[in-house]
């Protein structure tokens, strides 16, 4: 395993070394020590490397990720795994706002809570939050799945397009054009697949989840909806 200590190595050096990795590189398991809340740690990775970060990270950790697996042994600041394309990002603590923002693919797992705007504008990413999510989560979400084992905050799924939202607990309020929908077998299967991927296996009953999605009334401008825009 390769190790980088951010107390002695600069963040630029670390990220450059990670960017140089090829799929056949010898060492595809890295450990980052002393992250000290720095921003953009392990952002822009493209190799199928595993990066474990020992502590809390700042903004945009593992942003734009492709193929890599990034594990944060701590909390993450805003925008963790933003614009992720593929791979997996796991936060063992809490995540600040805009976790998984605009993500196109891959899996983001947050063991704790995610703050406001989790999955904002998500475009295909799968997000599993074991705790609760803050207000305006899945705002303008376009594709992908957001699974929340705890509660949803205010205005969940506001102006949502086609993403699927699954919440086990209560939801403070639904945003414009977001409605409750029936949880059919295909959805239970999907939740099960995502829980499996998040390492929860059969610990959670998929029937406990509520599904929310788009009522599809805001797709096109309609004068009757002017108050909702």
Within 8 A by CB and 6+ apart from 212, the residues are: 152, 156, 157, 160, 164, 165, 166, 167, 171, 174, 178, 179, 180, 181
115 binds other proteins (CB under 8 A): yes
44 binds other proteins (CB under 8 A): no
Alpha-carbon 208 to chain mean position: 21
Which range, of 25-33, 92-100, 118-126, 188-196, touches other proteins by CB under 8 A? 92-100
Q: Least CB distance from residue 100 to other proteins, whole Å?
A: 16
130 binds other proteins (CB under 8 A): no
Binding string to other proteins for residues 46 to 75, with x set by CB under 8 A, is what?
Answer: ---------xx-xx--------------xx
164 binds other proteins (CB under 8 A): no
SS3 95: strand
Structure tokens at 165: 């939202």
DSSP 114: B
93 binds other proteins (CB under 8 A): yes
- Sign, CA dihedral 200-180-146-38, equals negative
| Interface residues toward other proteins, by CB under 8 A | 36-38, 55-56, 58-59, 74-75, 77-78, 93-94, 96-97, 115-116, 134-135
């Amino acid at each position: 395993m390769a190790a980088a200590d951010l107390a002695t190595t600069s963040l630029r050096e670390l990220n450059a070394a990670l960017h140089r990795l090829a799929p056949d590189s010898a060492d595809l398991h890295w450990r980052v020590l002393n992250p000290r809340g720095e921003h953009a740690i392990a952002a822009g990775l493209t190799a199928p490397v595993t990066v474990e970060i020992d502590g809390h990270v700042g903004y945009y950790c593992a942003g734009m990720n492709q193929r890599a697996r990034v594990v944060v042994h701590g909390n993450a600041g805003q925008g963790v795994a933003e614009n992720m394309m593929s791979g997996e990002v796991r936060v063992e603590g809490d995540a600040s706002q805009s976790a998984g923002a605009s993500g196109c693919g891959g899996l983001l797992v947050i063991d704790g809570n995610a703050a406001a705007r989790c999955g904002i504008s998500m475009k295909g990413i799968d997000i599993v939050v074991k705790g609760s999510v803050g207000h305006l989560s899945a705002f303008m979400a376009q594709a992908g799945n957001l699974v929340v084992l705890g509660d949803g905050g205010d205005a969940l799924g506001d102006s949502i397009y086609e993403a699927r939202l699954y919440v086990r607990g209560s939801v403070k309020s639904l945003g414009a054009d977001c409605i409750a929908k029936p949880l059919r077998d295909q959805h239970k299967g999907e939740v099960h697949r995502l829980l499996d991927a998040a390492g929860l296996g059969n610990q959670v009953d998929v029937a406990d989840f509520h599904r929310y999605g788009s009522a599809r009334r805001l797709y096109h401008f309609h004068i009757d909806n002017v108050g909702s825009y």
